[in-house]
Amino acid sequence: MRRRKAAVALFLSLWVLQYALVPCLHGWGDEGHRLVSRVAVELLPEDMPAFFRTAADRLAFLGPEPDRWRDTQEVYKALRESAGPDHFIDIDQPDDFLALPDDRYQYADRLRAAGKYPKDVGFLPYACLEGFQQVQVMFRMWRDPRNAAEHRQIEENIIYYAGVLGHFVADGAQPLHTTVHYNGWSTSGNPEAFSREPLHWRFEGEYVRARIRAEDFRKLVKPAERLQDPFHGIMRYLLASHETVPELYRLEKKARWEQENSNAESKRFVAARLAAAAQMLADLWYTAWLGSRSP
C-alpha cells in the first residue's frame, strides 16, 4: 500500500509539473496578446470598414487563440505539434534570414539541405505571412458585389483570421521567440554571463500581467500605414526583435523578470516591444485591406 501511495504521489507531481511548464511556451501570455490586438485596432484609419474598427473586443479575445490550440489535456498531440513551430523562429539558425523564400516548404527543404530540422528552427515568418494573406483574400471577397449576400459570414471570417494573425505578429515582438536562448542562455558561448535560469514565462507572463497596461505603450504606436512589401516588412520586424535579445538578458541581471520588478528601464523595454507588435499588426491589417482592391 505504501508503494502504491508513493507511485500515485509521484504521478500527481509529474502531472502538476507538466501543466506548470506549459506557459513557458506561450508568447506574452493571455494579457499581452489581448493588449496588442486592442491597441492595434485603435490605430486603424477611418477608411477601414466599420465592422473591423468596432471589433476590438473580438480581436482582443482572439489574440491568445493559437495558444489555446496547445491544450495538453488533448489525448492526441497532433494539433499541439503542428501548431507549435509557428510561434517562433530561431534567427540564430538560418544562414541568411533576409533571403528566405516566401514558401514554408521551400524554406523547410533549404533547412534540411543545411542539416537543420525545420521543426526546431521554427516557422513564425510564414505564420505571419500566411495569416496576412488569409485576411487579404477575405477582404477581397467582401469587396466583390457578387458576395454581398454573404457579407456577414465573410466579416466573421475576416475578424477570426485577423485575430489569429495578431497572435503570431505579437509573438514576433517577443525577443525570446526569435532565439535559441528562449528560456535561459543555452550555449557555452556566454561572454556576458547571462542567466541560464528559465525566464521565459517570468518575462512574458508574470511581469506583463503585473506591470503592463495599454496606456504604457499606446502612445508609442503611430497610425497604421501601408507596407510596400509585407513579407520583407515581417522579416525586418523579426530581425529587429532578435537584436533585442541581449538587452533582455542584461536587464535580467539588473532586475529579475518577475511581477515584483519595478525597474523603469525594464518597463520601457517591454512597452517598446509591445508597441512594435501593435504597430506591425495594425500595418498588416491595413495593408491587407488596401491590397484587397482590384488592380
Element (H, E) at 59: helix 56-62
> Domain for residue 9, yes or no?
no
Residue 12 domain flag:
no
What pLDDT, on a 0 to 100 scale, did the predictor assign at position 1? 44
Q: What is the pLDDT of residue 97?
A: 87
- pLDDT value at residue 18: 39
- What CATH number is attached to the domain comprising 82? 1.10.575
Instruction: Let me know if residue 273 belongs to a domain.
Output: yes
Q: What is the pLDDT of residue 294?
A: 74
Instruction: Answer yes or no: is 87 within a domain.
Output: yes
Could you give phi then psi for residue 182, rounded to 5 degrees? -80, -15
Angle CA 243–248–249, to nearest 5: 110
In a domain? residue 165: yes
Low-confidence stretches of the chain (pLDDT < 70) are 1-26
Q: 70-119: per-residue pLDDT in tens?
A: 888 999 999 989 999 999 999 998 878 889 999 999 999 999 999 999 99
**E strand or H helix at 209, and its extent?**
helix 208-211
Question: What's the pLDDT tens digit per position in 185-213?
Answer: 999 999 999 999 999 999 999 999 999 99
- Residue 1 grid coordinates: 500500500
**Number of domains making up the chain:** 1
Looking at the domain assignment, is residue 154 inside a domain?
A: yes
Chain centroid offset of residue 117 CA = 21
Domain assignment of residue 93, yes or no: yes
Q: What is the pTM of this model?
A: 0.90
Query: What's the domain range around 276?
Result: 24-291
Q: Is residue 4 part of a domain?
A: no
